[in-house]
Amino acid sequence: MTLHRKHFILGGIAAACWAIAAPAFAQANTGKLKVGLMLPYTGTFAALGVAIENGFRLHVAEQGGKLGGREIEFVKVDDESDPAKATDNVNKLIKRDSVDVLVGTVHSGVAMAMAKAAKDSGTMLIVPNAGADAVTGPMCASHIFRSSFSNWQPGYAMGEVVAKKGHKKVVTITWKYAAGDESVKGFKEAFEKGGGQVVKDLSLPFPNVEFQALLTEIASLKPDAVYTFFAGGGAVKFVKDYAAAGLKKSIPLYGAGFLTDGTLEAQGADADGLLTTLHYGDSLDSAKDKAFRLNYVKAYKLQPDVYAVQGYDAAQMLAIGLNAVKGDITKKPEFAAAVEKARIDSPRGPFTLGKTHNPVQDIYLRQVSGKENKVIGVASKSLADPGRGCRM
The binding site for ligand BEZ (CB under 6 A) comprises 45, 106-108, 129-132, 151, 179, 231, 258
Give the residue with the Cβ less far from ligand BEZ, 167 or 237. 237
φ and ψ at residue 152, rounded to 5 degrees: -60, -35
Give the residue with the Cβ less far from ligand BEZ, 312 or 335. 312
Q: Residue 157's closest CA among 130, 187, 179?
A: 187
Give the DSSP H/E element, type plus range, for residue 332: helix 332-341
**Pair 207, 44: CB distance under 8 Å:** yes
- Per-residue DSSP letters for 58-73? HHHHHTTTEETTEEEE
Give the residue with the Cβ less far from ligand BEZ, 129 or 316. 129
Beta-carbon contacts of 108 under 8 Å, excluding residues fewer than 6 positions away, are 130, 131, 132, 151, 177, 178, 179, 182
* Residue environment code for 239-278, b if the CB has 16+ CB neighbours within 10 A, otherwise e: bbbbbebebbeebbbbbbbbbbbbbbeebeebbbebbbbb
| 8-state DSSP, 344 | B
Give the residue with the Cβ less far from ligand BEZ, 55 or 131. 131
Beta-carbon contacts of 283 under 8 Å, excluding residues fewer than 6 positions away, are 372, 373, 374, 375
**Pair 385, 140: CB distance under 8 Å:** no
Give the residue with the Cβ less far from ligand BEZ, 320 or 365. 365
Give the residue with the Cβ less far from ligand BEZ, 127 or 318. 127
**Pair 48, 55: CB distance under 8 Å:** no
Cβ atoms within 10 A of the Cβ of 2, count? 7
* 66-67 and 70-78 beta bridge pairing: antiparallel
How far is the C-alpha of 236 from the C-alpha of 262, rounded, in Å? 9
Give the residue with the Cβ less far from ligand BEZ, 70 or 276. 276
Amino acid at 303: Q
Q: Residue 346, exposed/middle/buried by CB under 10 A (0-12, 13-18, 19+)? A: buried
Give the residue with the Cβ less far from ligand BEZ, 178 or 253. 178
Asked if omega into 2 is within 30° of 0 (cis), the reply is no
Q: Residue 129's closest CA among 111, 112, 144, 113?
A: 111
Q: Is 178 helix (H, G, I), strand (E, B) or coil?
A: helix
Give the residue with the Cβ less far from ligand BEZ, 106 or 275. 106
Q: Is 159 helix (H, G, I), strand (E, B) or coil?
A: helix
Give the residue with the Cβ less far from ligand BEZ, 68 or 155. 155
Q: Is 181 helix (H, G, I), strand (E, B) or coil?
A: helix
